[in-house]
Amino acid sequence: MEQRRIGPFNVSALALGCMNLSHAYGTPPGRGEAEAVLRRALDCGVDFFDTAALYGFGANESLVGPVLKPHRHRITLASKCGMTGVDGRKVIDGRPETIKRTCEDSLARLGAEVIDLYYLHRWDKAVPIEDSVGALAELVEEGKIRAVGLSEVSAATLRRAHAVHPIAAVQSEYSLWTRNPEIAVLDACRALGVAFVAFSPLARGFLTGRLTDPATQLEAKDIRRQMPRFDPEPYARNLGLLDGYKAIAAEAGCTPAQLALAWVLARGSNVIALFGTKSRDHLDENLGADGLTLPPETISRLDLLINRNTVWGARYNAAIQTEIDTEEFS
């Protein structure tokens, strides 16, 4: 598979986010099927896997750790701290002592001696970013982690953090229908030599073309039910974009999902597309985007069709919006 650079690591440009196997998108698959997805990814050449302490409140790390452990010499493993499950609820806590304790817990669940890339999952705005990143820098010195990342931060926060310790990667939502990184953080990453890891590159399923009626297709506990963009009225408007989008995919000789991933990878040589799935079939389809190069005119048509001015609905509700530091369009 095509390789790209994150800090000291060469990784597959198409990376597997493991959250869906334990968390957030309705009922997760059984353990056997989840392990089969992971093994299929390994067999297909994926060598960059992403988990977090939050996912399944530790269950995801306990799932992926044993499967990936025999392959640690040939993969890059990422996890996250700063947002965890405490007494059954999500808690954002970026205090140095919490970060270090979370790292120890993650190492135990993963069955690992070191985590390759360790992200601050969310910036706890009650704690200076310098203090949280300082704790991560100490974990590097202690040999517990190899590189430091940040998630859903602004360019200004990235620069403050980078002044304390080199940041290897910023992870934020990025796709045709979520363009916030284009405001500033993509440029900041390029200027600082930081990789950009785009999560939800398939627009949380919208760009696969298979999610036509969230009201009936999404389970009650699916996180998308809390996102305004998936409410009935805005989603009905957004569906109007899919006919033109599918036509471009057909002309390009690929599936809608592959087109979405190829568009993300075309945004820069420092960009990695981090997708998630519960299905081996969908995994195989997504990995078909490897090596798919889009002509400039195709990219221009996509940009004109799906962009911040043509997509309806906010990506997060008001409560979740307060938890992130990402720049917002006016």
- Which residues, other chains included, contact 270 with Cβ-Cβ below 8 Å and sequence gap of 6+? 4, 5, 189, 190, 193, 194, 195, 196
Catalytically active residues, by annotation: 55
Q: In this predicted model, what pLDDT tens digit does every residue of 157-208 receive, in sequence order? A: 999 999 999 999 999 999 999 999 999 999 999 999 999 999 999 999 999 9
Amino acid at 293: T
Concatenating the DSSP letter of every residue in 90-137 gives EEE---HHHHHHHHHHHHHHHT-S-EEEEEESS--TTS-HHHHHHHHH
Going from the N-terminus, what domains does the chain have, and what CATH number goes with each? 3-321 (3.20.20.100)
Q: In this predicted model, what pLDDT tens digit does every residue of 84-102 receive, in sequence order? A: 999 989 999 999 999 999 9
Q: In this predicted model, what pLDDT tens digit does every residue of 3-22 receive, in sequence order? A: 999 999 999 999 999 999 99
Closest CA to 83 of 114, 111, 106: 106
Q: Tell me what pLDDT residue 88 has.
A: 87
CA–CA distance, 22 with 98 (Å, rounded to integer): 23
**pTM for this one?**
0.98
Q: pLDDT exceeding 90 applies to what percent of the chain?
A: 99
Q: Tell me what pLDDT residue 231 has.
A: 97
Reported confidence tier of residue 59, pLDDT bands at 50, 70, 90: very high
DSSP state of 81: E
CA–CA distance, 111 with 69 (Å, rounded to integer): 7
Residue 330 has pLDDT above 90, yes or no: no
Closest CA to 323 of 34, 156, 121, 169: 121
